[in-house]
Amino acid sequence: MNEPPLPKISLTPEQESELSMQRSLHFETHRATVLALEELLYKPFSVLDHGFIRVVDYMGDDSAVVQAARVSYGTGTKKVREDRGLIRYLIRHRHTTPFEMCEIKFHVKLPIFVARQWVRHRTANINEYSARYSFLDNEFYVPAPENLATQSSANRQGRGPVLEGEEAANVMRVLREDASRAHAHYVEMMNEDDGRTVQEDDRQGLARELARMNLTLNFYTQWYWKVNLHNLMHFLSLRADKHAQYEIRAYADVMLGIFKQWVPLTYEAFCDYRLRATEMSAQALAVVRRLLAGEPVEQLDSGLSKREWRELMAVMARDI
C-alpha cells in the first residue's frame, strides 16, 4: 500500500522562523513516542490552493492500543506479529475503546464551506480562529480547472462532467471577483486597512463580528482539531472515500499519510477492513451465496433494491 508523499507548503520567512523555533524544542519523556511522527511534528503540508494541515501534538501509538486491550503494564514480551493480529482482530470485530486511548491534534487551514462539512464529525475537540476579534486575510479558495464540474444527474450531492471553455473561464472569474469584492467591502465596513490600523477619518467602522458576515464561504479559516484514533478512523472512512467531496477528501488524503506514520499496524488494518473493504446486508450476502452455488440470480428476485443491486454487482466486478 504505497501512499503518495505528503505535500510540502511554501512558508514566509516569519513562518519558517516560528517553525524552526518549535522544532528546536526538546523534552525528556517516559511516554511512548513515534519517531516517524516526531519527524512530521509541526511541519505544515499543503492542501488545496492556500490550505495546510500539520500535527501539533499526539498521545499513544500502536502499542497503546494493544496495552489498553490487554490492560497490561506495557509492551512486555509480546511480538509485533501478535500485536498486529490483535489490532486486526479489534478492528475486524468493531472493538472501539482501545483506539480511543490514542489522540492526535491537528492545526488545519481550510475553506469555510469545508469546515462546515468537517464539523459534522462532532466527536472531536475544536477551537477555531475567531473573526470576532481577529482580521481575516484576503485568502479564498478557487478550484483548479479540473475540479470545476457540473451537477451530477444521478447524485444530488455529487459532480458530473468537468466544465470547459468559456463556461469554465466565466465561473473562475465570478468566483474570484465575488470573493475579492466581498473582502474589499469587509475591510471598508470596518474602516481598517490591514486588520490592525484604523484609517484616519471620522468613521469608527463596523464591529468585526458583524463585518465578517459578508464574506463568502470559500474564505479560509483555521482551527485546532483534536480527535481520538477511533473517531479519526471514522472520519477518514467517510472523507477519504471516493464518494466524498473532493475538497474535504484532499485533507483526508494528507491525514491518511500522517495516520500511516503514526500507527502503521492500525493503519494497515484500517485499510484492509474499512477503507478498502465493503459491507453487505443479509440480503446481499444471501445473493453472494446463491451465486457461489451456481444459481442464476436477477435483481427482481434478489430482495435488493436496484441501487443496492448495482452496488453489489460493482463490488463483485460483474456486468449488470
Residue 303 to residues 143, 196, 247, 307, 315, Cα–Cα distance (Å): 42, 65, 36, 12, 17
On whether residue 8 sits in a domain, the answer given is: no
Residue 308 pLDDT more than 70? yes
Report if pTM > 0.95: no
Residue 72 pLDDT more than 60? yes
Q: For 41-69, what is the mean pLDDT?
A: 94
Of residues 135 and 233, more confidently modeled: 233
- Select from 196, 214, 232 the last residue of a domain: 214
Q: For 203-217, what is the mean pLDDT?
A: 88
Residue 316 pLDDT more than 80? yes
The pLDDT, as a whole number, for residue 106 is 97
The pLDDT, as a whole number, for residue 281 is 94
Residue 58 to residues 61, 105, 227, 285, Cα–Cα distance (Å): 9, 6, 9, 40
Active-site choice (239, 274, 290, 310): 239
What percent of the chain lies above the pLDDT cut of 70?
89
Q: For residues 303 and 197, state if they share a domain.
A: no
Number of domains in the chain: 3
Instruction: State pLDDT tens for residues 166-199.
Output: 999 999 999 999 999 999 999 999 877 665 566 6
Residue 11 pLDDT more than 90? no
Q: For residues 40 and 103, state if they share a domain.
A: yes
Residue 71 pLDDT more than 90? no
Of residues 2 and 110, more confidently modeled: 110
- Select from 214, 240, 265 the last residue of a domain: 214
Q: For residues 263 and 123, state if they share a domain.
A: yes
On whether residue 4 sits in a domain, the answer given is: no
On whether residue 320 sits in a domain, the answer given is: no
Q: Which CATH number goes with the domain that contains 105?
A: 3.30.1360.170
Please give the full DSSP string across 241-282, using - where no structure is assigned. Answer: STTS-HHHHHHHHHHHHHHHHH-HHHHHHHIIIIIT-----H
What percent of the chain lies above the pLDDT cut of 90?
65
Q: For residues 179 and 206, state if they share a domain.
A: yes
Residue 3 pLDDT more than 60? no
The pLDDT, as a whole number, for residue 8 is 67
Q: Which of 82-86, 118-122, 188-192 has the lowest mean pLDDT?
A: 188-192
The verdict on whether 203 is a catalytic residue reads: no
Mean pLDDT of the chain: 88
| CA atoms of 110 and 222, how far apart (whole Å) | 6
Residue 270 pLDDT more than 60? yes
Q: For residues 107 and 50, state if they share a domain.
A: yes
The pLDDT, as a whole number, for residue 1 is 46
The residue segments making up the domain with residue 94 are 13-136+218-275
Q: 163 phi and psi, to 5 degrees?
A: -70, 150
The pLDDT, as a whole number, for residue 44 is 93
Instruction: State pLDDT tens for residues 277-299.
Output: 989 999 999 999 999 999 999 99
Q: For residues 201 and 59, state if they share a domain.
A: no
The pLDDT, as a whole number, for residue 20 is 78
Residue 77 pLDDT more than 90? no
| CA atoms of 18 and 210, how far apart (whole Å) | 31
Q: For residues 228 and 203, state if they share a domain.
A: no
Residue 301 pLDDT more than 70? yes
Q: Which of 156-165, 195-204, 215-224 has the lowest mean pLDDT?
A: 195-204
3-state secondary structure of 105: strand
Length, in residues, of the chain? 320
Q: For residues 35 and 123, state if they share a domain.
A: yes
Q: For residues 225 and 176, state if they share a domain.
A: no
Residue 65 pLDDT more than 70? yes
Q: For residues 203 and 228, state if they share a domain.
A: no
Q: For residues 23 and 165, state if they share a domain.
A: no
Q: For residues 19 and 114, state if they share a domain.
A: yes
Q: For 30-36, what is the mean pLDDT?
A: 88
